[in-house]
Amino acid sequence: MQSLTAAFLSCLATFSAVGGADTEDYGCECLAHRLEAFQPARRTDRPGRWVEPGKGKFDPATGADFRHWPPDRLVDYLKIRVELRVPDLAVRKAEAVATLTVRPIASPVESLSLNAEQLKVSRVTVGGRAVEHSSDGHVLGLRFEPPLPVGSDSDIRVEYAIEDPQMGLTFAPAYPDRPGYPAEMHTQGQSEFNRGWFPCHDFPNERQSTELVVDVPEGVMVSGNGRLVSKKTEGGRTVWNWLQEKPHVAYLVSMVAGDFAVVPIESKRSGVPMHVWVPKDRTGDVARTYGRTDEMMVLFEEVFGQKYPWDRYDQLVVRDFGSGGMENTSATTMHPGAILDEIAAADDDMEGLISHELCHQWTGDLITCKSWAHIWLNEGWATYGTNLWWQRRDGDAGYFDAMLDSNGVAGGDSTEGPVGMVSPIYGNASETFGRAPNPYPKGASILHMLREKLGDEIFFKGVRTYFEKYKFDVVETDDFRKELEAASGLGLEGFFDQWCMRPGCPNISVKAVYDTASRTLTLSAEQTQKIDERTPAFAVDTPVVVKTAEGVKAHDWSWRTKSDTLELKLDGPPDWVAFDPRLATLKTLKQEMPVEWMRALAKDGPTTASRRQAVQFLRGNATPDTVAVLEAIANDPAARRRLRQECVDAIADFQCDAGRAAIARMMEKPPELPRVFAGVCGAVTQLGDNPKAIAWLVKTLQEQKSYAVRAACINALGKLEAKDQVDLLLKMVDEPSRQQEIQSAALRVLAGWNDAKAIEPALKAAALGNFDRARPAAMDALSKICPKEEDNATRKQVIERLVAWMDDPEGRARNAACEALANLKAKQALDRLDAIARSDPSPERRDRATEWAKRIRG
């Protein structure tokens, strides 16, 4: 999909950490991992027109408009049938025929352009007649004589070969010494990558039915979209035929092939056939990880007023997947870590990812954004769908926890930014997924604000009307707005302009003062972001909830200017004051209030969001009274996990005597939740180079089962420079864990200590057959531990292995090896890097190879 941009890194840092909690996972692995995958350095919307990333709205030299609008649809694409013959999954080749059934829309069509990235087209015909064609490696141009007639359907048959595909189709290698992990193959179409394995109109403003006929060696299983029409085996080969009759967009076409166990999961409530495709040694983990899918499906049917629209719902766990999850119609693909053993399930769950991708079956698949500028209608809704799942599963506490995480996007979304969330200005389609006004969390926050503004009844009525009207269609932001306006009677154009089209969010500072004599609470609020003609002050709703001895009372507060003041007559002094506790406005927030109020708010505020914001405020108050409050919350089993963890972190940050005493007490009786326990392990570093602290970490590392707790112990030992524990950490390199997180933590610490004993374990951990997302950590460790002397035998061995991994079959490993060699300034890599820079099929890899070579040459 997309490389991690600076804007996305900022967003992710403030949004939430992926990888969650015991029963709470607010990070979205769809977002975090999808953006890892590569993007082409350039792309074309039309034949002969290159659009370079970062050029902005227009070219100053020529005046050319670089904004991206949906491309012309000269024909209605009715169906795509792809026949694919894969001789061997271990060989990156396939022979294919794609038949596109089209119907001209307005006039006879003399020529047509199809997206076809690096496809080797040998022949094109219509009705048996040869069609003149040409290709520049990106676009397949077709010329029809006679023109395709209006009112008639024509079948365009394209015969082609796929060799070493650079996008859309991934061949995952077999794992050596692991017989249960033979070669696999999978596709990934979003944003515009399916053009890498079949010719198509690769933009989301067109829907068509699709059919896959896949010929593979006998024993290989194949999944496609929709329903299985037939499966026939003859002569040592099997042909799988999958049909998706209801129309969908090209990027949602999916194919997965390999050796899987297909495990059914319960679907009594929805009645939808569901299976999970996993490696054969993981069948026992399916129900634990995916068992609540049916409950989620029933929820989304209620929310959108539409029964699940497709023939089946399968979830497929594949290797070397560049994203976290991908919502292909009826068949979601997931990364190889998306299956949990018993220990991992006590640390985390995958329900954030599972619910996000399932929600997409409505928000993105049933209804699809017409252009990438409106991607929030897909991703914002799917992120919000996960938050609705937390509300269904965990109540309002879970919902507001998740919404506060989504609100973190405001920290990186500046009014001085170049574009708003909805903008046609981008260098390539994948950039729209990683903007500072990020469509995942900002989109979810906008939906929450609309719900708060309209109320549940009207909001969800409008949502259901929207889905009924636009199902199996493509939409823009205004389509959604108009349905909410019709349901509510409100004019929402200003709201949508402010939050969707404009860049930035308000940065609000609020001060509260209580006058005892008059029993008046005065709140003064100010928007401190840059305010000018381009981005005037936001119109905001910031309700205030106050608790006094007489009870809790809410007060509305709406304002449209740079600053405003609210005066409230109370019945007595406040116990606490909660400013916008339901997050009615997306914002950053600074609060100036009496610390006693904030301690009380942290203990029993009206929402989990307000309690966590109070804890954030208290991080600046390192007093014994504050420590006591935070410690009590951290030890409260009824409190939310995120709140407890943030209290532990705050205590650790204080670096005061009272905080250290609290950490010592928590060491004596650690919290039972693994992620909170892990937070205590990290906090122990504040005790300094304390033999008791190190002994406790060692004991915990050896006795605890939790992967999260053990990795946290290793990280803490590293910070404490406990180098007498080298042998223990070397042992940990071989400890099994989910996604090899214990191994990766141990290698990072050993690399930080520059301990040469870790070289052999790191070489072993970096080899093909390890978890694909852990191998880069091992290679990074090698770049730090490797001796610097050029004639050193160990250095030569490490560099030799890294040079070999430059052409590894797994993409992450290839890039990590090149990065490690650049860090080592290994001249042995220059010939290969120069060759990659000259001729690699991937423009992005060519650019990166050039930079790596520059770093080596200095």
Q: Could you give phi then psi for residue 550, rounded to 5 degrees?
A: -85, -10
Mean pLDDT lowest among 4-8, 149-153, 489-493: 4-8
Q: DSSP per residue over 122-162, as a string?
A: EEEEETTEE-EEEE-SSEEEEEEEEEEPTTS-EEEEEEEEE
As a whole number, mean pLDDT of residues 111-115 equals 97
Decide if 645 contacts 612 (C-beta within 8 A): no
What distance in Å separates the CA atoms of residue 724 and residue 749, rounded to the nearest whole number?
13
Predicted confidence band of residue 428 (pLDDT cuts 50, 70, 90) = confident
> Over the chain, what is the mean pLDDT?
92
Q: Does residue 457 have a pLDDT over 50?
A: yes
What distance in Å separates the CA atoms of residue 496 and residue 443, rounded to the nearest whole number?
11
Segments in 151-257 forming alpha helices (H): none
Mean pLDDT lowest among 47-56, 259-268, 453-462, 476-485: 47-56
What distance in Å separates the CA atoms of residue 677 and residue 706, rounded to the nearest whole number?
9
CA angle 146, 97, 115 (to 5 degrees): 70
What distance in Å separates the CA atoms of residue 15 and residue 386, rounded to the nearest whole number?
14
As a whole number, mean pLDDT of residues 99-118 equals 97
Find the length of the chain.
858
283: Cα within 13 Å, side-chain hemisphere: 9
What distance in Å separates the CA atoms of residue 775 and residue 513, rounded to the nearest whole number?
55
The pLDDT of residue 475: 98
Q: Could you give phi then psi for residue 791, rounded to 5 degrees?
A: -90, 10
Nearest to 217 by CA among 185, 198, 239: 239
Decide if 738 contacts 340 (C-beta within 8 A): yes
CB-based burial of residue 306 (10 Å sphere; 0-12 exposed, 13-18 middle, 19+ buried)? middle
The pLDDT of residue 56: 64
Q: DSSP per residue over 356-388, as a string?
A: HHHHHTTBTTTEEESSGGGTHHHHHHHHHHHHH
Nearest to 101 by CA among 151, 150, 155: 155
Q: Does residue 366 have a pLDDT over 60?
A: yes
Q: Does residue 47 have a pLDDT over 70?
A: no
Cβ contacts of 69 within 8 Å, gap of 6 or more: 371, 424
As a whole number, mean pLDDT of residues 694-716 equals 97
> How does pLDDT run across 723-738, given as a tens digit for each residue?
999 999 999 999 999 9
In angstroms and rounded to an integer, the radius of gyration of the C-alpha atoms of the chain is 28
> How does pLDDT run across 796-853, given as a tens digit for each residue?
999 999 999 999 999 999 999 999 999 999 999 999 999 999 988 777 889 999 999 9
Q: Beta-strand (E) ranges in 732-811? A: none
> How does pLDDT run across 81-91, given as a tens digit for each residue?
999 999 999 99
> How does pLDDT run across 747-775, given as a tens digit for each residue?
999 999 999 999 999 999 999 999 999 99
Query: In the chain, pLDDT over 70 holds for what percent of residues?
Result: 93
> 25 or 550: whose pLDDT is higher?
550
Q: Does residue 185 have a pLDDT over 70?
A: yes
Q: Does residue 117 have a pLDDT over 50?
A: yes
> How does pLDDT run across 463-490, given as a tens digit for each residue?
999 999 999 999 999 999 999 999 999 9
